């Protein structure tokens, strides 16, 4: 399939979850499988674009293609696992000016592990009021970080620190000027609240388009916008096609000045 008007793009798509290592054998992650990002990347390829898919779940591509011949022309798949992997790859790829569009669909960790601790002797945590107490002294924690954290402590405490928002680095630190698509997922909010959150988030990152949904509705629909100043409710089956149509329109506008 050829893109209408011949405005073929080089598109980078991020997809899948990131792993937060606790030690060399354990980690924290989220439930997302990279299937949505893979579907968008495949749709872009089918429409004639050159696509790089940066994903933690390459198997999602084969699952969607149902045993078809391997992709070769205009297609590149690169893997990541942790937040640091994804950060490094995006930082290497985006400032080059090689890409016309970024679809940032990856479910990126908001926090990284920064230590594993156990309560020191005579230290306990009061669950009722959320405070630490030390019998006969100041409460304290003991560092238990290791290549494989021991499992003989009655309880362990994991310190988490914020990670930078990668999508907020795209325009500022990495100077990307192409079409930027951001994704936003919320839990237990109304459509009205989702719309407000999505548009505020889009503006914060200077994204051109936002795809927003709720965990409860993610298998069925998403909000896509702004399209002529509004957001459309798009069924999941049509999301990749509708998104690519809007990206192609925006790219043509940018190219035509």
CA torsion, ordered 29, 35, 41, 45, to nearest 10 deg:
150
158 vs 108: CA distance, rounded Å: 19
Picking from 100, 128, 160, the residue at the C-terminal end of a domain is: 160
- Same domain, yes or no: 83 and 47: yes
Provide, rounded to the nearest whole percent, the portion of the chain with pLDDT above 90. Answer: 85
**Alpha carbon 245 to chain centroid distance?**
22
* CATH code, domain carrying 31: 3.40.50.10300
- Closest Cα partner for 38 from 16, 17, 22? 16
Q: Determine contact, residues 48/8, Cβ cutoff 8 Å.
A: yes
Q: Note whether 122 and 108 are within 8 A (CB).
A: no
pLDDT tens digits for range 19-54? 999 999 999 999 899 999 999 999 999 999 999 999
Q: How many domains does the chain have?
A: 2
Whether 27 is covered by a domain: the verdict is yes
Q: 247-252: list long-range contacts, CB under 8 Å, 24+ apart.
A: 247/9, 247/11, 247/101, 247/103, 247/179, 247/181, 247/209, 248/3, 248/4, 248/5, 248/7, 248/9, 248/47, 250/179, 250/208, 250/209, 251/7, 251/9, 251/100, 251/101, 251/178, 251/179, 252/5, 252/7
Neighbour tally for 128: CB within 10 Å:
6
Domain assignment present for 256: no
Residue that wins the pLDDT comparison between 87 and 137: 87
What sign does the CA torsion over 53, 57, 63, 64 have? negative
Residues in the chain: 257
Cis peptide leading into 71, omega within 30 of 0?
no
Residue 257 lies in a domain: no
- Give percent of the chain above pLDDT 70: 97
Q: Are residues 80 and 197 in the same domain?
A: yes
**pLDDT tens digit string along 205-250?**
999 999 999 999 889 999 999 999 899 999 999 999 999 999 999 9
Instruction: Say whether both 246 and 184 belong to one domain.
Output: yes
Range of the domain at 71: 4-110+163-251
6 pLDDT more than 70 = no
177 — phi, psi (to 5°)?
Answer: -120, 5
| Lookup: tokens for 235 | 């069924």
Q: Are residues 43 and 99 in the same domain?
A: yes
CA 104 to chain CA centroid, Å, is 6
């Amino acid at each position: 399939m050829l893109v209408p008007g011949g405005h073929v793009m080089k598109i980078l798509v991020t997809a899948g979850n990131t792993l937060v290592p606790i030690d060399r054998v354990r980690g924290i992650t989220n439930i997302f499988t990279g299937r949505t990002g893979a579907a968008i990347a495949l749709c872009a390829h089918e429409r004639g674009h050159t696509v790089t898919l940066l994903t933690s779940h390459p198997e999602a591509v084969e699952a969607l293609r149902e045993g078809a011949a391997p992709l070769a022309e205009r297609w590149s798949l690169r893997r990541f696992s942790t937040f640091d992997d994804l950060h490094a790859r995006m930082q290497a790829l985006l400032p080059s000016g090689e890409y016309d569009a970024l679809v940032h669909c990856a479910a990126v960790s908001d926090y990284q592990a920064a230590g594993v601790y156990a309560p020191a002797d005579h230290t306990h945590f009061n669950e009722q009021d959320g405070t630490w107490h030390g019998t006969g002294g100041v409460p304290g924690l003991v560092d238990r970080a290791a290549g494989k954290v021991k499992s003989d402590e009655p309880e362990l405490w994991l310190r988490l620190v914020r990670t930078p928002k990668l999508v907020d680095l795209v325009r500022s630190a990495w100077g990307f000027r192409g079409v930027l698509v951001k994704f936003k997922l919320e839990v237990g909010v109304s459509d009205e609240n989702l719309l407000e959150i999505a548009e505020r988030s889009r503006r914060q990152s200077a994204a051109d388009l936002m795809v927003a949904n709720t965990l409860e509705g993610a298998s069925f629909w998403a909000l896509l916008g702004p399209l002529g100043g509004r957001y459309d409710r798009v069924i999941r089956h049509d999301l990749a096609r509708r998104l690519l149509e809007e990206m192609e329109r925006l790219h043509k506008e940018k190219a035509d000045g």
